[in-house]
Amino acid sequence: MTGKVWLIGAGPSDPGLLTLKGKEVLEQADVVVYDRLVGDGVLNMIPETAKLIDVGKRAGNHTMPQEQINEVLLREAQKGRKVVRLKGGDPFLFGRGGEELELLAQYHIPYEIVPGVTSALSVPAYNGIPVTHRDFCSSVHIITGHKKKGETYDIDFEALVRTKGTLVFLMGVAALKDICEGLLKGGIDPFMPAAILQKGTTARQKRILATVANLPEEAEKQGVETPAIIVVGRVCNLSEEFEWREKMPLFGKKIVVTRPKELVSRMAKKLREKGAEVLELPAIRTVMREDQSLLLEKLKEIDSYQWLVFTSPTGVKVFFKVMEREKIDVRRLWKIKMAVIGEGTKKALEENGIYPDFMPTVYNGEILGKELASLCKGEERILIPRASFGTEELIKELKKKEGLTVDEIPTYDTVYESSKVINEKEEFEKEEIDYAVFTSASTVRGFAKAVSGIDFSKVKAVCIGRQTQAEAEKLGMETYVSEKAAIDSVIELTERLCQTEKK
């Protein structure tokens, strides 16, 4: 059976700019062929089951020649696989997408093109520059700034100047001086506004505004990193009036979120809404145990329990999944009271139509145990379905109370993992990360395993509670702890820290 190839444009970097179709196709891929211009946020959307082929300079790898990339796409499709060629920007705008299709067409391999948001439009927009404006220009022209070493530009600069439109040069940083000289010789006004826009849509976004005559000098003075684009036109002067990213509270900050993969998105979404670039690196993964015989035994006698205690959203989800799988009527729980450790667990319970009877004043195992024990009277039974390694402080406090019978049942396991596409250790060593957010002691341990060998004193850790903070401090991290063990409290602390740095 012949497979199929999708050429997907990944946009400039921000995962929010990946199209809906691009995301849908990517999630079903058997093979993903990607390059260095694809943003970290988009790379994190690649399914764990997909075969990964890195064809660009990333983490020290050499660039694969274009002809070899074409052959890789053909070979993988001939094996009957769904192959995604994931490219930065748009595959048909200086992305060599047409070249990659030639071999596929020759061998009659089915393919689709999923257009992407080009940096030529999105990066100026993220810098407050509208590439067209009725008061300044009526056209926009996108030009490749790349040229072979030792060769002159095959560009009619005079014709470009005569258009009186906005000019956007992609891949032209190394040739910035030649581009500006070409425009000046072509008759452009030396005082025409021009800008170089670095790493647009990321935390390291930077704008250098000048004129065509002095942009090369200004760029050399301030320093420019690739990828970057060059914009020439009077619309560049609108950037200071229309800038919006710089006004967001977490602009310029790159934050790692280390929650379990299935729980990471809500926190990442909230941080992105405040302007941060978020790198989702789940340090742990929760796996439901196949053998749930111990829980099923307790469910048969559920009427004998007075309390059902949940210490994580995953614990709630697994519990009700077992009930659904075994066709156990939820009405069996009508007599039992329910306690949760915090807001996230409360929300997970409410999603099943049940509201908790108790939640501690401080969201940790020790306080939950103390306060729940004080509520219990006489001989009562407590059932706690939890992870294989749970909160010892909770059990310790409950067992201090005479007459209580505590049955803790392991229903899921916690597995440490690291990213297959992102070099987490390198990100921290290059000091690309501003803060790492930890939502449990286990995520700290998983993170430490993934980046083993780094100087942990350089990691600024935002922790959801005292136990998480204690685990981070063992490694020597610079730690900060939220007032409450809740997502919103963690985000408030992160924002406060970033605002303090700006002052």
Closest CA to 421 of 54, 15, 88, 85: 54
Which position among 14, 30, 35, 434 bears the catalytic label? 35
| Residue indicated by tokens 């407050």 | 128
CB 206 within 8 A of CB 196: no
Rounded Cα distance, 44 and 257, in Å: 12
Strands (E), 215-341: 228-232, 254-257, 277-280, 284-288, 307-310, 337-340
State both tokens at 22. 């691009």
Sign of CA dihedral 330, 332, 334, 338: negative
CB 121 within 8 A of CB 131: yes
Rounded Cα distance, 114 and 111, in Å: 10
Residue 247 bears catalytic tag: no
Which position among 51, 57, 164, 396 bears the catalytic label? 57
Residue 503 bears catalytic tag: no
Rounded Cα distance, 223 and 225, in Å: 7
State both tokens at 62. 């050499």
Q: What is the DSSP letter of 205?
A: -
State both tokens at 490. 């963690």
CB 479 within 8 A of CB 463: yes
What is the set of active-site residues?
35, 57
